[in-house]
Structure 1
C-alpha cells in the first residue's frame, strides 16, 4: 500500500492538523502554509460571521519561503493588511 500512496499521493497527518485562528478586527485568520518541494507557500483563510453565516476567503500567494513558521507569519501580516484595505468587501 505504501508504494501506491507514494505514486498517487496520500493525505499526510500534516494536512489534517487543526489550525488555531488569529482574531483581528472581528475576522478570523487561519495560517495554512502549503509545503512545496522543501519550501512553503504563503496560504490561508480569512473568515467572519456575517448575517448569521460564516463567510470565507481563501488565498494562496506565489511567495515561497524556507520555513513554515516564516510562511505563516507572512500570511498573517498580509491578511491583516488585506483586512485593513478591504474590510467586509473581502467577501463580495
Structure 2
C-alpha cells in the first residue's frame, strides 16, 4: 500500500535535517579556517556535509554546506567533506561570509 501511495503522490518524503554541530566526525584547519565534517543519515546512507568556521573581527562566522555525495561508510563522507571544505575555501576565501 505504501508503494502505491508514493507512486501516486500520497506519501510524504522524510525531510533530511543535518545534525547539531556536536556530531563532528573530523576536523582540520586550512588557511586560517576550521573545517568540520558533520555527515548525517539520509535514506540509509551518510550524506556529505560540513561546517567552515573562522573568527573575523572578534566574531565567529560559520558556513554550512551539504553535498550530494553519499556513502554507507561515515569515514568516506568525512574525508570528502573535509576535502570539499578545502576547495570551497580555496575558491572563495573570506568572501564566503559576505
Normalising by structure 2, report the TM-score: 0.72
1:71 match: secondary structure:
helix
After TM superposition, the runs of 4+ consecutive aligned structure 1 residues lying more than 4 A away are: 14-18
The aligned runs of 1:1-92 (5 Å cut-off) are 17=22, 19=24, 21-92=27-98
Instruction: Note the residue ranges of structure 2 that are not aligned, 5 or more in a row.
Output: 1-18
In the alignment, structure 1 segments of 5+ residues that lack a partner are 1-13
Bigger share in helix: 1
Helix, strand or coil at the partner of 2:91: helix
Cα deviation, residue 76, structure 1: 0.6
Q: Residue 87 of structure 1 aligns to a residue in which SS?
A: helix
Larger Rg: 2
1:36 Cα deviation from its structure 2 partner = 1.6
CA contact (8 A) 2:46 2:70 kept: yes
For 1:41 and 1:16, how far apart are their aligned partners in 2? 15
